[in-house]
């Protein structure tokens, strides 16, 4: 095929409309809301990771779990372990932040959402993007998005830890409101993690003969149903983790003091 | 009850042209293509528009209606306000021949670049035995009517003409996925998808899925699974090691 450039004669053979888009609907609303939602999450996460009020018996804030540093209160340590010794002086949440953050950053849904809302590539369908060149995920740094499945393995661990935290709170009598908030959050996090496209691929998506692997095919069918809800689960779990984390910190700070908190 | 609708239609040859205003009668139950035909019959006899089945199955009448890629025959006039001006243009990614008719030969060239179905050498036609669950995943992709609206809306080539050389577009990446998932296809398509057909250009913003008139989940069921298969081949050392050890 003839090599073309943005200003080539081939480009000029297209309908020469000088407007960015002829769409008349509110195409800007979805990227604007996404931008606001993701920005709120980033700002909250930045604040939470440096906030010290992350533990109050029997709750641990999800942003700081598992707590793996010696600086963690004894009851907050995951399985009583503290593999990071006294030398580690930074907030304990930073130790594990990379796994859930990496999972969300490389998630196929979030990629769509931030490519559209932050990078405007494109901001909406049939709306011209502002960039002169585009190479997509063919080279650094975006080719790194291909590591998504490794973050998925890490996110499975984080989902299990949050479930363990919620169950610990549940067996603590009496179970307070925070217990149920942590349980709902853990359920949404696990559902979001399992609905991931990489999980769908690993279960059986990579196979061409489903009939030879009936159990994997059944797992794939189940994950495919979850996968169809990946976007709503991404948002629901993002808000639930913020709400759960903020609730625990409010209890830990003594702002929330009602019985069965 | 009929009414007079305001239409702005792209008129011109090659890339040169302009939007022209028309007032056209619209009757109950009509679609945009009906109105374009009335315009042709009453006011603009030389207006060029490609159409065939008027049933959303031939993929001929792809156009952009109020800036959105749509099939003219499947866009009901009742979805617009009577006072609304409806703008109709040709697809923006392909060269214009005349008025609403585009030269879509880019797509046929890309189709030819994909090696056809390649069965094992020792299996003859008539000997294929496949279970339904093995083929139904790729049957979804066979619903494609080749309207090329997915390739039209994809920003990789819509906004960057220079990428047309290296990018097959969602329609043909979906074709590669369909063949790669086929139980009897033995051609190596993963490296080619990434290196020759530009799968890495796709940033999964799902516009192809949004505009597909057959509601094929192009991104979720074809492009992302294909990206994951490419990861198996090129970017996942554990899968590579597993394949070596178990000789898969």
Q: What is the pLDDT of residue A123?
A: 97
3-state secondary structure of A139: coil
For residue A21, give the nearest of B67, B183, B224 by CB distance. B67
- Rounded Cα gap, residues B50 and B63, in angstroms: 9
Mutate to test the interface with B, among A9, A19, A22, A132 (most CBs of B within 10 A): A22
The answer to whether the CB atoms of A198 and B211 lie below 8 A apart is no
Residues 40-59 (B) with a CB less than 8 A from some CB of A:
none
Pair B112, B170: CB distance under 8 Å: no
The answer to whether the CB atoms of A209 and B153 lie below 8 A apart is no
For residue B235, give the nearest of A11, A125, A146 by CB distance. A146
Whether residue B213 lies within 8 A of chain A, CB to CB, comes out as: no
Instruction: For residue range B23-66, list pLDDT tens digits in order.
Output: 999 999 999 999 999 999 999 999 999 999 999 999 999 999 99
**Closest by CA position to A98, among listed A49, A54, A162:** A49
For residue A208, give the nearest of B66, B103, B182 by CB distance. B182
Instruction: For residue range A142-168, list pLDDT tens digits in order.
Output: 999 999 999 999 999 999 999 999 999
For residue A6, give the nearest of B89, B160, B231 by CB distance. B160
The answer to whether the CB atoms of B204 and A111 lie below 8 A apart is yes
- pLDDT tier, A7 (very low <50, low <70, confident <90, very high otherwise): low
The average pLDDT across A47-75 equals 93
Whether residue B10 lies within 8 A of chain A, CB to CB, comes out as: yes
ipTM value = 0.92
The average pLDDT across B108-129 equals 93
Pair B233, B248: CB distance under 8 Å: no
For residue B159, give the nearest of A122, A200, A205 by CB distance. A122
Q: What is the pLDDT of residue B193?
A: 97
Pair B208, B155: CB distance under 8 Å: no
Residues of A in contact with B235 (CB under 8 A): 146-147
What string of H, E and C letters represents the secondary structure of chain B? Answer: CCEEEEEEEEEEECCEEEEEEEEEEECCCCEHHHHHHHHHHHCCCCCCCCCCCCCCCCCCCEEEECCEEEEHHHCEHHHCCCCCEEEEECCCCCCEEECCEECCHHHHHHHHCCCCCCCCCCCCCCCCCCCHHHHHHHHHHHHCCCCCHHHHHCHHHHCCHHHHHCCCCHHHHHHHHHHHCCCCCCCCCHHHHHHCCCHHHCCCCCHHHHHCCCCCCHHHHHHHHHHHHHHHHHHCHHHHHHHHHHCC
- Answer yes or no: CATH 1.10.760.10 is held by domain B105-246: no
For residue B67, give the nearest of A3, A24, A228 by CB distance. A24
| pLDDT at residue B120 greater than cutoff 60 | yes
The average pLDDT across B180-187 equals 95
Q: Chain A: nearest CA to B169, how far in angstroms?
A: 13
Strands B62-65 and B101-102: unpaired
Mutate to test the interface with A, among B221, B228, B233 (most CBs of A within 10 A): B228
Q: What is the pLDDT of residue A2?
A: 43
| pLDDT at residue A4 greater than cutoff 50 | no
Q: What is the pLDDT of residue A260?
A: 83
What rounded mean pLDDT belongs to chain B?
Answer: 95
The average pLDDT across B182-189 equals 94
| pLDDT at residue A6 greater than cutoff 70 | no
The average pLDDT across A87-104 equals 92
Mutate to test the interface with B, among A126, A207, A221 (most CBs of B within 10 A): A126
Mutate to test the interface with A, among B7, B13, B15, B170 (most CBs of A within 10 A): B15
Residues 66-95 (B) with a CB less than 8 A from some CB of A:
66-69, 84, 87, 89-90, 92-95
Q: Chain A: nearest CA to B101, how far in angstroms?
A: 10
Whether residue B245 lies within 8 A of chain A, CB to CB, comes out as: no
Which residues lie below 8 Å from residue A50, measured CB to CB, with a gap of 6+? Answer: A91
Q: What does the buried/exposed string (b/e) look like for B19-51 if buried means 16 or more CB atoms within 10 Å of the residue's CB?
A: bbebebebeeebbbbbbbbbbeeeebeebebbb
Decide if B3-102 and B105-246 have a common fold. no
Domain segments of chain B as ranges: 3-102, 105-246
Upper half-sphere CA count for residue B239 (Cβ side, 13 Å): 15
Tokens linked to B212: 């597909």
Q: What is the pLDDT of residue B247?
A: 62
For residue B201, give the nearest of A16, A138, A147 by CB distance. A138
The answer to whether the CB atoms of B89 and A12 lie below 8 A apart is no
CATH value of B3-102 in 3.10.20.30, 2.40.50.1070, 3.50.50.60, 3.40.50.300:
3.10.20.30
């Amino acid at each position: 095929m003839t090599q073309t450039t943005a200003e080539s004669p081939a480009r000029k053979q297209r309908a020469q409309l000088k407007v960015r888009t002829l769409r008349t609907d509110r195409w800007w609303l979805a990227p604007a809301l996404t931008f606001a939602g993701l920005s709120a999450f980033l700002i909250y996460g930045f604040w939470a990771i440096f906030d010290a009020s992350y533990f109050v018996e029997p709750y641990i804030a999800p942003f700081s779990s598992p707590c793996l540093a010696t600086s963690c209160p004894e009851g907050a340590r995951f399985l009583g372990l503290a593999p990071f010794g006294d030398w580690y002086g930074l907030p304990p949440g930073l130790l594990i932040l990379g796994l859930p953050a990496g999972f969300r950053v490389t998630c196929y849904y979030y990629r769509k959402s931030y490519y559209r809302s932050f990078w405007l590539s494109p901001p909406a369908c049939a709306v011209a993007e502002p960039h002169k060149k585009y190479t997509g995920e063919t080279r650094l740094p975006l080719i790194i998005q291909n590591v998504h499945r490794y973050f998925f393995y890490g996110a499975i661990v984080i989902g299990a830890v949050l479930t363990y935290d919620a169950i610990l709170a549940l067996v603590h009598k009496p179970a307070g409101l925070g217990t149920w908030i942590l349980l709902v959050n853990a359920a949404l996090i696990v559902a979001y993690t399992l609905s991931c496209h990489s999980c769908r691929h690993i279960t059986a998506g990579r196979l061409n003969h489903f009939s030879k692997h009936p159990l994997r095919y059944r797992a794939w069918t189940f994950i495919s149903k979850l996968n169809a809800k990946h976007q709503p689960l991404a948002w629901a779990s993002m808000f639930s983790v913020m709400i759960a984390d903020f609730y625990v910190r409010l209890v830990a700070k003594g702002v929330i003091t009602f019985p069965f908190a | 009850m009929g009414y007079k609708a305001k239409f702005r239609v792209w008129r011109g040859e090659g890339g040169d042209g302009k939007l022209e205003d028309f007032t056209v009668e619209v009757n109950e139950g009509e679609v945009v293509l009906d109105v374009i035909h009335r315009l042709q019959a009453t006011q603009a006899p030389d207006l060029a528009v490609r159409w065939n089945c008027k049933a959303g199955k031939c993929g001929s009448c792809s156009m952009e209606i109020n800036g959105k890629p749509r099939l003219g025959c499947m866009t009901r006039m009742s979805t617009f306000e009577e006072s609304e001006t409806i703008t109709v243009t040709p697809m923006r990614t392909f060269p214009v021949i005349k008025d609403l008719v585009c030269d879509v030969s880019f797509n046929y060239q890309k189709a030819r670049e994909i090696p056809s179905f390649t069965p094992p050498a020792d299996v003859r036609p008539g000997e294929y035995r496949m279970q339904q669950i093995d083929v139904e995943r790729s049957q979804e992709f066979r619903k494609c009517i080749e309207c090329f609206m997915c390739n039209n809306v994809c920003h990789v080539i819509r906004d960057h003409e220079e990428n047309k050389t290296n990018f097959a577009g969602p329609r043909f990446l979906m074709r590669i996925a369909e063949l790669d998932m086929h139980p009897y296809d033995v051609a190596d398509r993963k490296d080619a998808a990434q290196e020759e057909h530009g799968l890495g250009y796709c940033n999964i913003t799902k516009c192809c899925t949004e505009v597909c008139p057959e509601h094929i989940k192009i991104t979720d069921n074809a492009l992302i699974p294909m990206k994951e298969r490419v990861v198996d081949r090129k970017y996942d050392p554990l899968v590579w090691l597993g394949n070596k050890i178990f000789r898969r």
